[in-house]
Amino acid sequence: MGFIEAIGSYRKNLSTAFSFAILLVFVLPFVWLSNTIVSSGTTMIDYGFLRDNPIDSLLLLLTALLFLYFYSLFVCLIVFSVRRDLSEVRVSHFLNEKIHAHALKYFVFLSAFTIIGAVLSAILVSYGVPPIWLNLVIFLVSSSFLFLSQTIVVDEESLGASVASNWDFISRHPRDFLAVMLFGIVSVFALQLVEFMIDYVVLVGNFVSLFIGLVFLVPFIEVLKTRIYMERFSLIKNYHSPPGSLR
């Protein structure tokens, strides 16, 4: 699956990967606002957030949306960085005219998924639906969009077409899909162990796991997915740009 090559690509784009650390500025607002959970290398909205003060609930959603915008931007940047390394693309043109458009498309998807999922889950929990089943459904549905960031940045299609391309790729390469999923599950489990061991000494394990998740795990998985996506479609070294383009 190219783990060694992915490690090399991650190291080559270390500065871009470390830009994810900027997202840590949202830790304090999330901690200050109620109904947020920082654990296992990520932040989550509690299912009971709608029972809170409406103003607090609105502030929580707005903060989450702001977080998702910058998250979308950094994800698209790391995917583009790998695409740039593996193919020919006009760097200045892409950064000036394309990256924000791609990040906006990814942000629209993530924000819609997050808000709809959070509101529906809060309503269903209030009617007695066990959270464990909601977690399973959210996990399965979100997994079906695993390669969406790659289809958005590499194929440069509309959001709808990118979603369709993502599903098409998963259906054609189920082994790669399952391999990435397994790696992600094992990695999150390892983060939980690290968090537990640190909390045993001092209660900052959730913040340490969040740092590791944002700076190392998330960008590495995006690098890995991008290499897989471009390799399977024979895009590495075969992507042709117009004459005069820059590497």
Q: What does the pLDDT look like over 183-222, one tens digit per residue?
A: 999 999 999 999 999 988 888 888 999 999 999 999 999 9
In a domain, 218, yes or no: yes
Q: Is residue 237 part of a domain?
A: no
Of 39, 89, 79, 18, whose CA–CA distance to 242 is shortest?
89
Question: Residue 216, CB half-sphere, CA atoms under 13 Å: how many?
Answer: 11
pLDDT of residue 94: 56
Q: What is the mean pLDDT of residues 108-136?
A: 92
**Domain containing residue 175:** 3-232
DSSP state of 52: S
CA torsion sign for 113, 10, 240, 90 is positive
Pairwise CA distance, residues 238 & 234, whole Å: 7
Task: Please state, in angstroms and rounded to a whole number, the distance separating the CA atoms of residues 164 and 155.
Answer: 12
Tokens at 194, concatenated: 């690290």
pTM: 0.88
Q: Which tokens go with 84?
A: 């740039």
Domain count, the chain: 1
Contacts of 11 by beta carbon, 8 Å cutoff, 6+ apart: none
pLDDT bracket for residue 139 (50, 70, 90):
very high
Query: What is the helix (H) or strand (E) element at residue 43, kind and residue range?
Result: strand 42-45
Placement of tokens 């957030």 in the chain: 49
- In whole angstroms, give the CA distance from residue 133 to residue 2: 34
The pLDDT value given to residue 238: 47
Q: What is the pLDDT of residues 156-180, one digit of tens each?
A: 889 999 999 999 999 999 999 999 9
Query: 204: buried, middle or exposed (CB in 10 Å: 19+, 13-18, 0-12)?
Result: exposed
Q: Which two tokens stand for residue 66?
A: 């702001």
Looking at residues 107-123, what average pLDDT do you find?
93
- Average pLDDT of every residue of the chain: 87
Which pLDDT belongs to residue 85? Answer: 83
Q: Is residue 246 part of a domain?
A: no
Alpha-helical (H) ranges within 19-98 are: 27-32, 54-86, 91-93
pLDDT digits (tens, 9 = 90+) for 60-102: 899 999 999 999 999 999 999 998 888 766 555 555 568 889 9
From residue 129, alpha-carbon distances to 34, 73, 183, 186, 215 in Å are 22, 35, 29, 27, 35
Helix 218-232 and helix 3-12, axial crossing angle in degrees, nearest 10:
120
What is 137-187 written as a DSSP string? HHHHHHHTTTTHHHHHHHH---HHHHHHHHHHHHHH-HHHHHHHHHHHHHH
CA distances 71 to 7, 24, 104, Å, are: 21, 11, 11
